[in-house]
Chains A and B, each alone.
Chain A
Amino acid sequence: MPTAPRRLSDQALSVLDTLQGGGGDAWLYGLEIAAATGLKSGSLYPLLIRLSERGLLESRWLEPERPGRPARHAYKITGAGKAVLREARRPDEALKFQGAF
């Protein structure tokens, strides 16, 4: 069962921030998240897995935009993710959430 993290790293928060952008209802691809956050693939995917396992984002396979291309994995922030992000961005809580988990 997914559990909410007590602390999130700045990188994890930036991923959630990116997913939250645009109202949080958009599905974003890994490349888009990498471009927005500046994270490399080697850091991004372990992070996505961790956030997914904690129930802070959901993922699904989307049909390819062009025929002959593979389906792509897309990500969207969950309600729990939004709550954690909101909590982390509160001015008095910001310090608690800084640092790697």
Chain B
Amino acid sequence: MPRGPSFDERIMDLGAFVAPPGREPWARAMRAEFEAIGGPRTGWALGCLGAAAGWRLRVDGVYLLMFALTAGLAWRVLFLPFFWAVHLNLVPKDLQGPAFQYGRFVVPAVVCLAFAAVHPRYWTLVGLGFPVAFVGLGVIATAHEFHSSIWDVHPFNATLEVGTGAQMGYCLLGALIGRTLGSARAARSA
């Protein structure tokens, strides 16, 4: 029965995927050494992935950082109408919950979807970087409250963690759908 790629091989594949085009020979060089290792290879594979990620960040880091900050800021702005609509009771009571959740989860997921559709290669970075930027900006905006509440985290009061996790999940899902759409579009035009 044919064997699928091992965990180590998947890490190496990811490293080759992440490496920028200019570093492709070096990614192949690391892969060739990986193939030559007789014993455990996970450490080598993880190091290669780290090196590839570093090369990618050097090439696209500023661009991705600017995207994450801009998108995070845009998300905050897009979220405000939903927040105020609920806060000022402009939305019927039974729709307030869905409106709030729509602003918090669906809008960012759609933004991730759109970006990943244009840049399918960056879907994981977008799906993770975007919510991190959003949460980061939120922490900065509410630094005084955050500072006093950050020490108050315990297992029975995990609202912040659950909400953040859900945001990341929505963003990753949006980015995944966007990547699928973007890849299909690229395949059609090829």
Contact = CB atoms under 8 A, between A and B. Distances in A.
B33 A43 contact: no
A71 interface: yes
Interface string A62-74: 0000000111110
Contact of A46 (B29, B44, B54): B54
A49 interface: yes
B44 A41 contact: yes
Interface string A37-50: 00011111110110
A46 B51 contact: yes
B46 interface: yes
A27 interface: no
Interface residues of B, number: 23
B31 interface: yes
Contacts of B50: 42
Q: Which of A42, A43, A44, A59 has the most CB of B within 10 A?
A: A42
Contact of A29 (B36, B44, B47, B51): B36
Interface residues of A, number: 18
Contacts of A29: 33, 36
B95 interface: no
Interface string B36-49: 11000001111111
Contacts of A49: 23, 26
B35 A69 contact: yes
B126 interface: no
Interface in B1-44: 23, 25-26, 28-33, 35-37, 43-44
B49 to A, nearest CB: 8
B47 A30 contact: no
A29 B44 CA distance: 14
A31 interface: yes
Given A69-B36, A70-B31, 9 more contacts: A30-B29, A31-B37, A40-B47, A41-B47, A45-B29, A70-B28, A72-B29, A72-B32, A72-B36
20 contacts: A30-B29, A31-B37, A40-B44, A41-B30, A41-B45, A42-B47, A42-B48, A42-B50, A44-B47, A45-B30, A45-B51, A46-B54, A48-B26, A59-B29, A69-B36, A70-B28, A70-B31, A70-B35, A72-B32, A73-B26
